[in-house]
Amino acid sequence: MANTAINSEKNNSFNFWLAAGLLAVITVLSLTRDIDRPFCGLHSWAEASTAWVARAHVKYGFGYTKGVCTWAVGNPPPETPTRYWDHPQLSNILVSLLMRVTGTGERTIRIYRAGLSALGLLIFVKLVRKLTDDTTALLAGLFIVIFPLVQYFGMEGWLMPLGFLSFWYYIAVLEKSEDKTSKLSANHIGLALCIFFNMLFGWSGFFFAMAIGVHYVFRCLFRKKYPNKLLLAILILAPATGLLINFTVMAAGYSWNIQKIVDLYKWRSAKGEMPEFLWGKWFAKFWEHALTNFTLPVLLLVIGYLTLGQLFIWTNTEKKEDTSSQTSRKFPYFWLFLMPWVFQLLILRGCLWRHQSWEAPMMSFMAIATALSVLIIKDQLSKINHKLSSIVMIFLISFLVLICLNGGNDYYSIQWQPLSKINMFKTLNQAIPSDKSLLSFEDLIVNQHPSKGGFYRPEYAYYLDREVVQATSPEEIQKYASTGQYPYYLIPNVPQLSQLITPLREKYPLFKYIPGDPGERKNGKFVKAGMPPYLILDLQQSGAIPENTKKQKFDPKSELQ
């Protein structure tokens, strides 16, 4: 009998990890979808930024970049490049190491993200299995995989794998050493390392550390116990050390101008990229993102679980029907899973406006609550008819999968940058030698906030990979053209610039005409960005155009290569 029980347990464990492995494969397939697609989709800014700075590490070496995010283009690069200090640096270094194996193309970013997301998924289902049961864990794993947020953005790099693992070690410490005199163990070391490195990979790691610390303090208060000194020290020192390293690097990069860091925090903790901060608009944006990140049916199930579902759980407990299966319908460590995303969204609330991915810490909470909601529905229907409950559960899960997959398709269809514009920069990259520069009517620079300073739009810099100098008058253009450093001039072909375009066309031949793109909106909502048509003029060949050509009406669609 004992051997039978052991074999049965081994089979269950094998089947569980087989199913979990399948979910991990689905995660990888989802995030490597069209793996070489250009950085022009939703949040292409972030993707291209990571690829750009990681490529700089590979292309120019750590001796040049100093191991920090470096905005450099061309070859040779600028002697004094612009560096980006606002984010922890470790993740970009690891991406650059992967690039040495898989290349500096778009696929490296997708491989990196997919691998970490698969790891995060396996840690997540292991954690939920520990807290509930196999069914709840796999169901929550399925939901977290199919959320449109995860289908497109993944699990936010190292944030979720290390965040879930820190939860695992924290809970293990609580279970094994509640007394004040507990000794240092592998769980303590694992907890400290996860918290520390999560801080070095991204600012969001702080909110996981904060959630664990607050959870532990309140746990001690409610139980009227003194905190364990060792655990409390870890929960203070690990995140504090990570923060100290991040802020020291950041402050040094800003020449110890601490006020720039303060200004940046004030900006991100208040209005962000909006003219002003209004709570009504903020909550509306939070709900708007949640609808697309998780879909409406999932949100309704979660709301139902947190309200009506609690009534069923309480009723079963009162009736002493609290069996193991019913107990698993309670949300384990509810506050621990709730706090990371609440802290993140409220403390840096200015980040939400244009960042759907800022709701990423919600994914574990939403997945577990959705799974428990579905299982409560099954429990209640089982009291009527077991077959009916199974049919409804299959239908409900299938419906959620389909609607989430559709939401993922919607995310992949959004384009922040016109593909024709990306191709235009690829064309210029091939035409301009790496030691030459582009002369342009537009400077191609963005200025988010004074504390950040201006820098090339990452998508443009990644594909153009050349210095850009702005010139807006015929005299300036002719002056720069005479140096031989600027083979081509880029200008939007719009009526407002006709007085500048006309004399330029008389002096410089057309290298290429880039058609415009009207963009796309669906049901009044943004889908694809548009752009005006562009002209690329060849500054290497100057001189008056023949008389008969002058008299002809200029046709911008003609390409004179």
Q: What per-residue confidence (pLDDT) applies to 548?
A: 39
- Given this model, what pLDDT does residue 555 score? 40
The yes-or-no verdict on residue 550 having pLDDT over 60 is no
**Helix/strand/coil for 131:** helix
Question: pLDDT tens digits for 37-85?
Answer: 999 999 999 999 999 999 999 999 999 999 999 999 999 999 989 899 9
Beta bridge partner(s), residue 41:
415
**Which of 61-75, 225-239, 312-326 shows the lowest mean pLDDT across its residues?**
312-326
Contact 71, 52 (CB under 8 A): yes
**Hey, what amino acid is at 320?**
K
144-148, 357-361, 444-448, 459-463: least confidently modelled range: 444-448
pLDDT band with cut points at 50, 70 and 90 for residue 183: confident
Query: Which pLDDT score is estimated for 181?
Result: 56
Residue 328 is predicted with a pLDDT of: 62
Mean pLDDT, the chain, whole residue set:
90
Of 78-87, 201-210, 299-308, 325-334, which gets the smallest average pLDDT? Answer: 325-334
Predicted model pTM = 0.90
CA–CA distance from 33 to each of 22, 152, 154, 290, 363 (Å)? 17, 9, 12, 23, 21
Task: Please name the residues in contact with 324: beta carbons below 8 A apart, sequence gap of 6 or more.
Answer: 133
Q: What is the band of 325 on the pLDDT scale with cuts at 50, 70, 90?
A: very low
pLDDT of residue 524: 81
Cα distances from 466 to residues 52, 74, 251, 433, 445, in angstroms, run 12, 5, 29, 9, 13
* 213 vs 558, residue with greater confidence: 213
Looking only at the bridges linking them, the beta strands covering 438-440 and 488-492 are: parallel
39 to 422, 445, 448: CA distances (angstroms): 8, 17, 20
> Buried b vs exposed e over 267-277: b needs ≥16 C-beta within 10 Å?
bbeebbeeeee
Contact between 104 and 58 (Cβ < 8 Å): yes
Rounded-to-integer distance, Cα 41 and Cα 30, Å: 15
Q: How confident is the model at residue 402 (pLDDT cuts 50, 70, 90)?
A: very high
The rounded radius of gyration (Å) of the Cα atoms in the chain is 28
Q: How confident is the model at residue 549 (pLDDT cuts 50, 70, 90)?
A: very low
Per residue in 463-501, is it b (16+ CB within 10 Å) or e — as a string? bbbbbbeebeeeeebbebbeeeebbbbbbbbeeebeeeb
According to DSSP, the residues that pair with 422 across neighbouring strands are none
Share of the chain above pLDDT 90, in %: 76
Mean pLDDT along residues 10-23: 90
Model confidence band, residue 557 (pLDDT cutoffs 50, 70, 90)? very low
The per-residue pLDDT for 451 is 73
Encode 98-113 in three state secondary structure: HHHHHCCCHHHHHHHH
DSSP 8-state secondary structure symbol assigned to residue 495: G
User: Is the per-residue pLDDT at 358 higher than 70?
Assistant: yes
The pLDDT assigned to 320 comes to 54
pLDDT tens digits along 24-37: 999 999 999 999 99
Q: Are 217 and 231 in contact (CB under 8 A)?
A: no
**543 confidence band (pLDDT: 50, 70, 90):** low
Q: Tell me the per-residue pLDDT of 422-438, one tens digit each, with 9 for 90 and over.
A: 999 999 999 999 999 99
> Taking 50 as the threshold, does the pLDDT of residue 353 lie above it?
yes
Q: How many CB atoms lie within 10 A of CB 416?
A: 18
In the prediction, which pLDDT does 140 show?
97
- Report the 3 state secondary structure along 358-404: HHHHHHHHHHHHHHHHHHHHHHHHHCCCHHHHHHHHHHHHHHHHHHH
Q: How far is CA 229 from CA 172, 180, 205, 220, in A?
A: 16, 7, 23, 12
How do residues 376-396 score in pLDDT, each as one tens digit? Answer: 999 999 989 989 999 999 999
Q: What is the pLDDT of residue 542?
A: 64
Q: How many Cβ atoms sit within 10 Å of the Cβ of residue 37?
A: 16
Tokens 């993140």 sit on residue: 344
